[in-house]
Structure 1
Amino acid sequence: MGTGERPLTFFALILPFLAAAAAPLLTRLLKHNAAWVLALAPLWMFSHFAGMLGPVSEGAAIAGGFDWIPSLGVRFSWYIDGLSLTFALLITGIGTLIVLYSGGYLKGHPHQGRFFSFILMFMGAMQGLVVADSFLMLFVFWELTSITSFLLIGFDHAREASRRAALQALVVTGLGGLSLLAGLLVIGAVSGQDDLSGLLASGDLMRNSPLYLAALILLLGGAFTKSAQFPFHFWLPNAMEAPTPVSAYLHSATMVKAGVYLVMRMNPVMGDTVAWETILPLFGGVTLLVGTLLALRQTDLKLMLAYTTVASLGLLVMLTGFGSEKAVEAAVLYLIAHSMFKGALFMVAGLIDHESGTRDIRSLGGLRGAMPVTFAAAILAALSMGGLPLFFGFLAKEEIYAAIAVGGGWATLVTVVAIVGNALMFAIAFAVGLRPFIGAAAKTPKHAHEGPVLLWLGPVVLALSGLIAAMFSTIAHQLLSSPMASAVAGQDLQIDISTIPHIGMPLLHSALTIALGIGAYLALDRLRASMASVLEAIGWGPDRGFDQAIRGLLRLSFGVTKIVQNGRLDIYMTVTFIAVALTLLVPMVLFGELPSVPVFPDLWFYEWTVVAIAVIGLGAVVYAQDRLTAIVSLGIQGFAVALLFMLMGAPDLSFTQFMVETLSVVILALVMTRLRLSVSDHRPTGQKILDVSVAGACGLAFGMLLLKVTQLPFDETLSTFFKNYSLVIAHGRNVVNVIIVDFRGLDTLGEIAVVMITGLAILALIRIRTKDQTVPAKRKGRR
């Protein structure tokens, strides 16, 4: 990569976040024209990545980056090949149209600037994900897509349904992100690589590893949750609570394909195994059927499209795992086609809702005259989704049937699943793209009319793109499809399919699909009623199971909290000190690290006096008859330690110890006078025995630890460092003061902050208790 390209690519990666920061201000200043200005950011990004089509189509991979955390060897790096470049172009190209569409769809919305900010942040996160090279960068952007999608799905936060859908999406994809992180750690440990480019050059290393299956399951955990594979499919239709621009962008063209991107990216190093070619087609095929069958049940245009998106994602996963070069080519063609026709249809659904006031297909009809431009975009997108000739969706469907027409029981089963799924998607495509526009004009909540240019520009461009790409398929394959397929397969592939149908079984399968699709379209109302009956009979589903799991988690948390946080401070302290004693004693006993018994030293009479003071203080604490005497006696121990410091030639530490002990006694005494406690301690004998045992165990543990430490050879490295540099660096001769104030300055500041916060908390508790004590008396006086 040239030196001039590196900063431009870095700028392209951060530009969405810069635009997101400026979006609220620009929206306030420019009002309705803000969308046109903000759309320039993704448009420039699209043109930048489009400039890479030439070298990438010739087989080059563009890599670059900067040191992110040099001390840890972490880089902010990118790797752009056919796969990541195609995704980057879809993200920025469709993103440009979505920004414009949002300007019209949310016109006059009080939080439109915030929406622009969220959608641009998501764009930056998704773009960073697909071009990331380092594992850490991939994971960071992966999680950022979950966070930004949470903000977008819950944009209408005043509605409970929006909040639930946002939380559900965050929980499901967030858990998948943790699974992905674990998988990346396993892959890194096995391969010794921390970036994708290095992993792709590792050959069969992952496939031959005994940890392959663990890495695969963890990786697919992240991919399946993100791309809504069964049984994690339920979050995506619920996410339709978001505004339509979100549905058109996140849940058709970008975010939900992040899992598919991950599977495709890992195919060269983790594919071509029995596990890969079993798990992916199995879950993908089930997801395809479940998505299309559930789509039949819906009457909301967005939900119908949402469930077919689930089905399409299942089809992509099934093809990627099928294990042939043709299947990879089919997956690539279908991914590109799906992004165009599904993005267009989602925007059409939003446009219909915006201009007629409803998305219920039962309340729509005859809109062709009132919305001719929208109708044209809808029918073009439906033709591509239905896989009819002259559209890019047709190329994808033909390649699908050519890929799986290889004979054998497994291929036959996959073929049947693909035909049924594609036929039902054909029916839904024309139910959304044709039915609202034909027939008698229906009475809608709003007088339907054509929307403004900001609303119909996006669907028209995407729908025409599906037609133009197919008409000029040779160029499209050379620049996009073939480089992408080569990256997914890990070897050079050349796609040459055109609008001329395959002659043979693929054409027969295609004809059968269209015939079944037409039949399903004509019988759509009866099929909807049948599916409603079936689902009502089944009752339970993953969506309800999610709510049950969350409720169970809350009940479990409540039960655990009642046990471990029961409100009794004495239990907390007992458990804590038992844990401390066991932590110190058990390792010393198990690993034979007990200290040797020291020889008691010869002491001078004044040293014996200090020991006697300490023993007398201990006896005073134990045998004190009231709490105040015990507190005062407790200070004797600290004074004895302070005297030892003084005798050992450390007057500064001695002075500090005197101050600490004095203040501790005074503060404790003052606090005791403000608390409602009995004068003396009336604990049962059993409790006293337990407390004595715990206290003795802690004392013994710390004593043995200190003895063991003092019996080890003394390492003077740190002492020498402080002695040599205290005066030179900190200009202080008192080494202890220099350590506290300079070398450990932030630590000391933190300790001061902790003491201050603790003091404020104690003061607040005392005041609360004082108010609780005075309120009843005042109320009594009023009576």
Structure 2
Amino acid sequence: MGSGAQSLTLLALFLPFLGAVLAPPLCRALGHGAAWLLAILPALIFVHLAGFVGIVSSGEVVAGGYDWIPSLGVRFSWYLDGLSLTFGLLISGIGTLIVLYSGGYLKGHPQQGRFLSFILLFMGAMLGLVASDSFLMLFVFWELTSITSFLLIGFDHGREAARRAALQALVVTGMGGLSLLAGLLVISSVTGATELSALLSTGGLLRESPLYLAAFVLVLGGAFTKSAQFPFHFWLPNAMEAPTPVSAYLHSATMVKAGVYLLMRLNPVLGDTAAWETVLPLFGAATLLVGTLLAMRQTDLKLMLAYTTVASLGLLVMLTGYGSERAIEAAVLYLIAHSLFKGALFMVAGLIDHETGTRDIRRLGGLARAMPITFAAGLMAALSMGGLPLTFGFIAKEEIYAAVEIGMGVPVLLLGVAIVGNMLMFAIAFLVGLKPFVGAAGKTPAKPHEGPALLWIGPLCLAALGLLAGLFSQMFHAAISSPMASAVAGNPVEIAASSVPHLGLPFYLSLATIALGVAAYFAHARIRFGIAVALAAIGWGPDRGFDQAMRGLLRLSFGATRIVQNGRLHIYLTVVFLAVAVTLLVPMIVFDELPAMPQFPDLWLHEWTIVLIAVIGLGAVVYAKDRLTAIVSLGIQGFAVALLFMLFGAPDLSFTQFMVETLSVVILALVMTRLKLTPSDHRPTHEKALDLSVATVCGAGFGLLLLKVTQVPFDATLSQFYEAHSRALAHGRNIVNVIIVDFRGLDTLGEIAVVMVAGLAILALIRVGTPQAPAAKREA
């Protein structure tokens, strides 16, 4: 990849962040018209990425990057193959339409600029996620999608429901992000790869490792939480508290598919194992059933679509883990089809709400005459979601049944789940895309009318594209579907499925699904009632469990805080010194690194005298009756050590020790006097015994560590460096002073800052402890 193309790709990755900066001032200046200008940015990204379609469809990849932290081998790198390029086109293409839709949906909103800024931030995060080659880049952008989705879900932060939904999404996906980080670290340690391109070339190395299961579980933690797999599915429907553009973009076409993207990306290195082909289909099938059943329970258009999104994500996970090439083809086709029809239907639901004042399906009807363009968009999207012939959704459904038909040895249960799920999604598709527009006129809060162009351009384009992709499927497969399936499978795959029906078991299963779906459409009220009764009988669910878990976490934190932060400084210091003692002694004992006991040296009389002075000082500290005497006595030991430094030829160090001891004693004595602390020690005997034990263990630890250090052969390399360079570089003869002032001058500055802050804190404590004179007395 040439330097010019690399620069353009880097610019394309950062264009959304530039748009996020420009959005607020542009909206203040131009109002909703700013959406037209801001939409140019994702459109330019789409055009740039579309230029790589020919290269990628021929089997090549587009890779590049720049050194980020060269010393650690970290690069800001990207890797565009059929999988990441398709996601990039969806993110930028649908993102363009969402920016326009947001301009109409939030027209006149005082915080429209902030909203568009968040949308563009998310776009940049998601684009970076799917384009990332570096593990570190992938994780950074992964977490950034969670943060930006938190901002978007909680956009209307004045409502408690929005705040709760935002926090719930952040907690669930944030925990998954940490799991993913751990998984990437395990994968890197096993394979030595720090980039996806290098990982994909390792073959079966990861599958053969004893750490495979750990990596698999940790990666699933990230993927399942982000893509709302059961039992983590509850956060996605709650996220419908966000404005509809967020639902149409994040929670149908982009963010929630990040987990599916991760599983598809790692399929060549993690797939083809019993764990992969068991866990993914099992959880995917459970999510598919739960999502579709809960969707039929709803009466809010957005919630119906949200739960079918959960179901669709389950279907994608089930197909990705199924293990056959046909299942991968089906997953790829369904992912693309779902992005198109679900994005369109969400925007249709938002348009209905915007122009009628309600999303309640029970109050809607007869809107086709008042909203003909919206009706056309909704109907085309419903046809694709329902899997009717000539649409891209029909191709996807045919491939699903071709992948899981009984003749290929798939368990009947899995086939039944696919049929039931598709049947209920067929019913939901037409309940959203058809029912509000036909029949008698509903009782809506506002008089229905067609929305402005900014609102219907997006759904109409996506719905029409779902139809065109089906009609020109062979061209679409060659450019998009086949390269994407090849990237997921890890080997070349050619998709030849057509939107024209072909007789066979998959087609007959499609007909059965349509017939059952039509029956479910007309019986939706009775199905809704039956599911409501069943849910009432069950009662508890993951959503309520999340609230209980959060309350339990708060109670646990309060209880732990009362124990470890009880306000007693004595306990804090005891815990700290015990931790120090354990840190010092346990490694030496466990790893058999205790020092050999040295022989006591022969000392001169004056040296014995200094040792005796230190011992006397120690006794004075221990047996002092009040704190002030103990502090003064503590200085005796410091002065004794300073004398030893002087005797052994270190006058500078001795002088420093004298100054430190003098200042310490004076300052501590001053503080103790001014604060009027209890002059005597009233500790009971057991506390004194505990303190003595802790002090003894800490002293033994430091003593043994110092003995061990002195018994290690001395490495004079650093001393020789300072001796050779102190005069030449720092122009100083006193090596100690040069080290303190020049070589480690920044460290010295930090120490001075610490001393200054400590002094200010002491001054504040003294002033707080000093009684203030009455105002009248001060005036006198």
TM-score band by shorter chain is: over 0.9
Tell me, in whole angstroms, the C-alpha distance in 1 between the residues paired with 2:717 and 2:22.
Answer: 52
Tell me the secondary structure at the aligned position of residue 67 of structure 2.
strand
- 1:402 and 1:502 in contact (8 A); partners too: no
Classify 1:427/1:739 alpha carbon distance in 2 versus 1 (closer, same or farther; 3 Å): same
Tell me the secondary structure at the aligned position of residue 67 of structure 1.
strand
Where do residues 463-474 of structure 1 align in structure 2 (5 Å cutoff)? 463-474=463-474
Deviations 1:403-445 (A, max 9, x none): 2224266342222111110110111111111122222222322
- 2:191 and 2:202 in contact (8 A); partners too: yes
Please list every run of 5 or more consecutive structure 1 residues that lacks an aligned counterpart in the other structure: 779-783
- 2:329 and 2:485 in contact (8 A); partners too: yes
Tell me the secondary structure at the aligned position of residue 493 of structure 1.
coil
Q: In the alignment, residue 345 of structure 2 is paired with which amino acid?
A: L
Aligned to 1:178: 178
- 1:341 and 1:382 in contact (8 A); partners too: yes
Tell me, in whole angstroms, the C-alpha distance in 1 between the residues paired with 2:383 and 2:425.
Answer: 11
Tell me, in whole angstroms, the C-alpha distance in 2 between the residues paired with 1:33 and 1:316.
Answer: 38
- 1:363 and 1:443 in contact (8 A); partners too: yes
Aligned to 2:778: none
Aligned to 1:82: 82
Q: Greater shift after overlay, 649-658 or 513-522?
A: 649-658
Deviations 1:605-635 (A, max 9, x none): 4434433332332232223222222222222
CA displacement at 1:463 relative to structure 2: 0.8
Where do residues 557-576 of structure 1 align in structure 2 (5 Å cutoff)? 557-576=557-576
Aligned to 1:662: 662
Is 2:500 the partner of 1:503?
Answer: no
Aligned to 2:598: 598
Aligned to 2:34: 34
- Structure-1-length-normalised TM-score: 0.95
Deviations 1:477-527 (A, max 9, x none): 110011111111112111122221121111111111111111111111111
Is 2:211 the partner of 1:215?
Answer: no
- 1:398 and 1:502 in contact (8 A); partners too: no
Where do residues 153-164 of structure 1 align in structure 2 (5 Å cutoff)? 153-164=153-164
Tell me, in whole angstroms, the C-alpha distance in 2 between the residues paired with 1:175 and 1:341.
Answer: 30
CA displacement at 1:558 relative to structure 2: 1.9
Where do residues 449-460 of structure 1 align in structure 2 (5 Å cutoff)? 449-460=449-460
Where do residues 41-440 of structure 1 align in structure 2 (5 Å cutoff)? 41-407=41-407, 410-440=410-440
Is 2:744 the partner of 1:741?
Answer: no
- 1:331 and 1:400 in contact (8 A); partners too: yes
CA displacement at 1:396 relative to structure 2: 0.9
Q: Greater shift after overlay, 434-443 or 532-541?
A: 434-443
CA displacement at 1:538 relative to structure 2: 0.3
Q: In the alignment, residue 428 of structure 1 is paired with which amino acid?
A: I
CA displacement at 1:739 relative to structure 2: 2.1
Aligned to 2:679: 679
Q: In the alignment, residue 735 of structure 2 is paired with which amino acid?
A: V
- 2:169 and 2:235 in contact (8 A); partners too: yes
Tell me the secondary structure at the aligned position of residue 158 of structure 1.
coil
Tell me, in whole angstroms, the C-alpha distance in 2 between the residues paired with 1:534 and 1:767.
Answer: 67
Tell me, in whole angstroms, the C-alpha distance in 2 between the residues paired with 1:50 and 1:222.
Answer: 29
CA displacement at 1:203 relative to structure 2: 2.0
Q: In the alignment, residue 121 of structure 2 is paired with which amino acid?
A: M
Tell me, in whole angstroms, the C-alpha distance in 1 between the residues paired with 2:330 and 2:302.
Answer: 26
Classify 1:112/1:670 alpha carbon distance in 2 versus 1 (closer, same or farther; 3 Å): farther
- 1:153 and 1:165 in contact (8 A); partners too: yes
Please list every run of 5 or more consecutive structure 2 residues that lacks an aligned counterpart in the other structure: 776-780
Identity of aligned residues (%): 75
- 1:398 and 1:510 in contact (8 A); partners too: yes
Tell me, in whole angstroms, the C-alpha distance in 2 between the residues paired with 1:574 and 1:474.
Answer: 74
- 1:176 and 1:226 in contact (8 A); partners too: yes
Tell me, in whole angstroms, the C-alpha distance in 1 between the residues paired with 2:172 and 2:752.
Answer: 41
Aligned to 1:585: 585
CA displacement at 1:446 relative to structure 2: 2.5
Tell me, in whole angstroms, the C-alpha distance in 2 between the residues paired with 1:21 and 1:251.
Answer: 24
Tell me, in whole angstroms, the C-alpha distance in 2 between the residues paired with 1:524 and 1:362.
Answer: 11
- 1:129 and 1:137 in contact (8 A); partners too: yes
Tell me, in whole angstroms, the C-alpha distance in 1 between the residues paired with 2:440 and 2:624.
Answer: 96
Deviations 1:323-354 (A, max 9, x none): 22211111111110100110011111111112
CA displacement at 1:769 relative to structure 2: 4.6
Classify 1:80/1:666 alpha carbon distance in 2 versus 1 (closer, same or farther; 3 Å): same
CA displacement at 1:604 relative to structure 2: 4.2
Q: In the alignment, residue 94 of structure 1 is paired with which amino acid?
A: I
Tell me, in whole angstroms, the C-alpha distance in 1 between the residues paired with 2:593 and 2:270.
Answer: 47
Classify 1:689/1:103 alpha carbon distance in 2 versus 1 (closer, same or farther; 3 Å): same
CA displacement at 1:31 relative to structure 2: 2.4
- Structure-2-length-normalised TM-score: 0.96
Aligned to 1:717: 717
- 2:406 and 2:415 in contact (8 A); partners too: no
CA displacement at 1:656 relative to structure 2: 2.5
Q: In the alignment, residue 21 of structure 2 is paired with which amino acid?
A: A
Tell me the secondary structure at the aligned position of residue 407 of structure 1.
helix
CA displacement at 1:317 relative to structure 2: 0.9
Q: In the alignment, residue 240 of structure 1 is paired with which amino acid?
A: M
Aligned to 1:781: none
- 1:64 and 1:78 in contact (8 A); partners too: yes
CA displacement at 1:636 relative to structure 2: 2.1
Deviations 1:127-170 (A, max 9, x none): 11111112222112111111111111111222211111111111
Deviations 1:709-745 (A, max 9, x none): 2222211111111222223333333322232233223
Classify 1:266/1:158 alpha carbon distance in 2 versus 1 (closer, same or farther; 3 Å): same
Classify 1:626/1:190 alpha carbon distance in 2 versus 1 (closer, same or farther; 3 Å): closer
Tell me, in whole angstroms, the C-alpha distance in 1 between the residues paired with 2:142 and 2:458.
Answer: 26
Classify 1:260/1:675 alpha carbon distance in 2 versus 1 (closer, same or farther; 3 Å): same
Q: In the alignment, residue 121 of structure 1 is paired with which amino acid?
A: L
Q: In the alignment, residue 292 of structure 1 is paired with which amino acid?
A: T
Q: Greater shift after overlay, 475-484 or 9-18?
A: 9-18
Q: In the alignment, residue 224 of structure 1 is paired with which amino acid?
A: F
Tell me the secondary structure at the aligned position of residue 4 of structure 1.
helix
Is 2:564 the partner of 1:535?
Answer: no
Q: Greater shift after overlay, 589-598 or 141-150?
A: 589-598
Is 2:516 the partner of 1:516?
Answer: yes
Tell me the secondary structure at the aligned position of residue 407 of structure 2.
coil
Aligned to 1:750: 750
CA displacement at 1:766 relative to structure 2: 4.4
CA displacement at 1:196 relative to structure 2: 1.4
Tell me, in whole angstroms, the C-alpha distance in 1 between the residues paired with 2:589 and 2:335.
Answer: 62
Classify 1:672/1:542 alpha carbon distance in 2 versus 1 (closer, same or farther; 3 Å): same
Is 2:696 the partner of 1:696?
Answer: yes
Tell me, in whole angstroms, the C-alpha distance in 2 between the residues paired with 1:187 and 1:590.
Answer: 30
Tell me the secondary structure at the aligned position of residue 447 of structure 1.
coil
Where do residues 7-22 of structure 1 align in structure 2 (5 Å cutoff)? 7-22=7-22
Q: In the alignment, residue 118 of structure 2 is paired with which amino acid?
A: F
Q: Greater shift after overlay, 542-551 or 727-736?
A: 727-736
Tell me, in whole angstroms, the C-alpha distance in 2 between the residues paired with 1:598 and 1:492.
Answer: 71
Q: Greater shift after overlay, 471-480 or 406-415?
A: 406-415
Tell me, in whole angstroms, the C-alpha distance in 1 between the residues paired with 2:755 and 2:594.
Answer: 35
Tell me, in whole angstroms, the C-alpha distance in 1 between the residues paired with 2:29 and 2:654.
Answer: 65
Q: Greater shift after overlay, 646-655 or 620-629?
A: 646-655
- 1:229 and 1:313 in contact (8 A); partners too: yes
Q: Greater shift after overlay, 179-188 or 97-106?
A: 179-188
Q: In the alignment, residue 708 of structure 2 is paired with which amino acid?
A: K
RMSD value, Cα = 1.9
CA displacement at 1:768 relative to structure 2: 4.5
CA displacement at 1:240 relative to structure 2: 0.8
Tell me, in whole angstroms, the C-alpha distance in 1 between the residues paired with 2:768 and 2:439.
Answer: 71
Tell me the secondary structure at the aligned position of residue 628 of structure 2.
helix
Q: Greater shift after overlay, 580-589 or 684-693?
A: 580-589
- 2:404 and 2:410 in contact (8 A); partners too: no
CA displacement at 1:372 relative to structure 2: 1.7
